[in-house]
Structure 1
Amino acid sequence: MEELLPEGKNFRLVEESELPEIIDFLGKFLPDSLKFHQTLKTFVNDRVWDFHFYVTKNWPEQAVILHFPGMTRTPNNKLYESFCVFCPCDHLDDLTLLESEDVLIDWTQPIYLNFTHSRIMVRIEEFYAKIGTIEKLYGDVYGLVQPHLEEMESELVIADQAEMCQLRKEHAQIIHDLYPANQMECIEIFEKLIEKLPCFGIFSAQGDLAAWMVQSYYGAMFSMQTRPEYRRKGYGIILAKHLTKLVTQRGYLPYVVIRPENDASKSLYGKLGFKKHFETIRAILRPYEMAGEPQGGGGGGGAEDEPALGQEQPLIGTLNGDVEIKGDQ
């Protein structure tokens, strides 16, 4: 087991007692801080996945916060191989502390970044250009910062005598098998999500799992999928509406990450009042001397935005974070 470091050159490990105050601080920067804010909140409330949070040694004067790992699984399964970062967009000069962090982050090795605000990524690119190359996958964060629950109260009419139920652990295998990016995600993630968070499926009259959607360990709504033979029955918007209501009632801010080209998902969430807040980027940072080498291993980390079954679009290597949802209307 890799040793947990109490501090780096510019960052220190956060004590659990500090997390609620940090959540409140990040709340001042919504919606830009949405993904990191909700990750912290899910960690404190539900402890679905293990993260280690670091802040600058003079926090909050320089408000840069990191969490390791940045994904559930990386090629070498190293704790500090991946991370996620947030910094207020009006204090991006503070990211120089990230550039000079050579204890927690080994910039001579490939680094895997979870979905990160595009303005933060621009600053990272500025200093990383002299180190290596960056492969990027774009997503748009759509959220419902002021949910109107009364709009979610209308009766949900499910076609063909199907019914909606909370998923059970035994459903994790089929979800993982049909998950378009299952090479990046371990089945244990789905088992933990089903155990601790709202994860719902629509079951046919014959008892088959026809469609499903879950809340993730970073607060987002993701992994919406409908089996091909059950599409065009409105199951997608029923699940999205139901999960939006539950996520809100549990004190979370509903959000998803959608690929820019995924018009079906934009249409679906647009009907529920979701608005685009910012562009986010998932990336692999690879030093120049390694840029031509083949990647190994699998990643992990659940994607909010995933292609329809049987229509998977290639992802960048072993990136993880949030996969693409194909909206089912």
Structure 2
Amino acid sequence: MEEVLPEGKNFRLVEESELPEIIDFLGNFLPDSLKFHQTLKTFVNDRVWDFHFYVTKNWPEQAVILHFPGMTKTPNDKLYESFSVFCPGDQLENLELLETEDVLIDWTQPIYLNFTHARIMNKIEEFYAKIGTMEKLEGDFYGLVEPQLEETESELVVAEQGKMCQLKKEHAQIIHDLYPANHMECIEIFEKLIEKLPCYGVFSAQGDLAAWMVQSYYGAMFSMQTRPEYRRKGYGTILTKRLTKLVIERGYLPFVVIRPENDASLGLYAKLGFKKHFKTVRAILRPYEETGESQGGGGGGKEVEPQREIMNGDLEV
């Protein structure tokens, strides 16, 4: 098992007893901090995965916080191969501590950054330009501004005698198989999400899993998918209403990340009261010179299709 480092050059590992205070601190920067804020909340409340959080050695005066690993599975399965970062919008100059961090982050190797506020990613791109290239996928961050959703009994009865209910562990395999970035999130994470968080599916009259949606380890509602043969039946709307209600009841603010061109999802969430807050970015950082074991250079040739799968991960489809 990879060693968990107690500190880096500019950051230190957070003790578990500090997490509630950090959650409160991040709450001052909503909605910009929402993804990070709820990652910490789900970690404290449900321990879905074994994550590690680092803050600056001068926290909170220099308020930069890191989350390793940013994804539960990476190409080389290394703890420090992927991460996510948050910094308040009026303190972006403190991201220079990230640039000079050479213990926790090996900038000479590919790095996988999970969804991060676009302002933060732009600052990272500024200093990374002299190190390598950045392949980005942008999405719009939508949250429910006034979480007041009521669910009628009629919505609990799904069309064509189908049923909606909490998923079970045995459903994780099919969900993982059809997840666009299944090589960036291991099947075990879906099993744990189903065990600990609201994860609902619509089942056909024949008992087939037709559509599903889960709450993620960072508090978002994601992985909403409907099998092609069951589309245009309103299952996505029904699942979204149910999961939104449950997420609110659990003390979270519902949010999703949507591709700007995804008109269907944009229309659905707009009807439910979700509002766009900011742009978020998932990125692969590739140094100009990579070792023979690294993944290709610059995202060309055969790298294009795997990169697309990695990047599309949690966006609504």
| Superposed pair shares fold, TM > 0.5 | yes
1:324 aligns with 2:299: no
2:232 matched residue in structure 1: 232
Cα-to-partner distance string for 1:70-129 (whole Å, 9 max, x where unaligned) = 111111111111110000001100111111111111111111101110000111111111
Unpaired segments of 5 or more residues in structure 1? Answer: 297-312
Distance 2:257 2:125 in 1: 22
Match of 2:129 in 1: 129
Distance in structure 2 (CA, Å) of the matches to 1:141 and 1:125: 20
- Partner amino acid for 2:246? L
- Asked if 2 retains the 8 angstrom alpha-carbon contact of 1:134 and 1:286, the reply is yes
Q: What is residue 50 of structure 1 aligned with on the other side?
A: 50
Distance in 2 of aligned mates of 1:291 and 1:125: 22
Measured in 1, the distance between the counterparts of 2:272 and 2:143 equals 10
- Deviation of 1:321 after TM superposition, in Å, equals 8.3
Structure 2: gaps of 5 or more residues: 297-303
CA contact (8 A) 1:295 1:317 kept: no
2:23 counterpart residue number: 23
* CA deviation string 1:143-180 (max 9, x = no partner): 1132013x445641421111111111111112122223
Note closer, same or farther for the CA distance 1:93–1:239 as it changes in structure 2 (3 Å cut): same
Q: Describe how 1:160-199 pairs up with structure 2 within 5 A.
A: 160-199=160-199
2: CA distance, partners of 1:84 / 1:291? 24
In 2: Cα distance, 1:67 partner to 1:93 partner: 19
Counterpart of 1:187 in structure 2: which amino acid?
A: I
Deviation at 1:317, TM superposition (A): 5.4
Aligned to 2:67: 67
Deviation at 1:271, TM superposition (A): 1.1
Alignment of 1:150-299 (within 5 A): 151-153=150-152, 155-156=154-155, 157-290=157-290, 295=295
- Give, in whole Å, the separation in 1 of the partners of 2:128 and 2:168: 44
- Kept in 1, the 8 Å contact 2:109–2:294? The answer is no
Whole-angstrom CA distance in 2 between matches of 1:106 and 1:128:
12
Instruction: Provide the residue aligned with 1:34 in structure 2.
Output: 34
What is the CA–CA distance in structure 2 between the aligned matches of 1:105 and 1:117, rounded to whole Å?
A: 19
Partners of 1:238 and 1:318 in 2: CA distance: 27
1:95 maps to 2:95:
yes
RMSD: 1.9
Aligned to 2:300: none
For the residue of structure 2 that corresponds to 1:70, the secondary structure is coil
Cα gap change, 1:147 to 1:153, in 2 (>3 Å): farther
Shift of 1:67: 0.8
Q: Distance in 2 between matches of 1:320 and 1:229?
A: 26
Instruction: Give the distance between the partners of 1:50 and 1:257, measured in 2 at CA.
Output: 23
Which residue number in structure 1 is paired with residue 7 of structure 2?
Answer: 7
Instruction: Give the TM-score, by structure 2 length.
Output: 0.93
- The aligned amino acid for 1:323 is D
Percent of aligned positions that are identical: 81
What is the Cα deviation at residue 49 of structure 1? 1.1
Instruction: Specify whether residues 83 and 180 from structure 1 end up closer, same or farther in structure 2 by C-alpha distance, changes over 3 A only.
Output: closer
Distance, in Å, in 2 between the alignment partners of 1:233 and 1:109 is 46
- Asked if the contact 1:64–1:94 (Cα under 8 Å) also holds between the matched residues in 2, the reply is yes
Q: Secondary structure at the match of 1:290?
A: coil
Aligned residue type for 1:207: G
Residue-pair matches, total: 309
How far apart, in 1, do the equivalents of 2:285 and 2:152 lie? 45
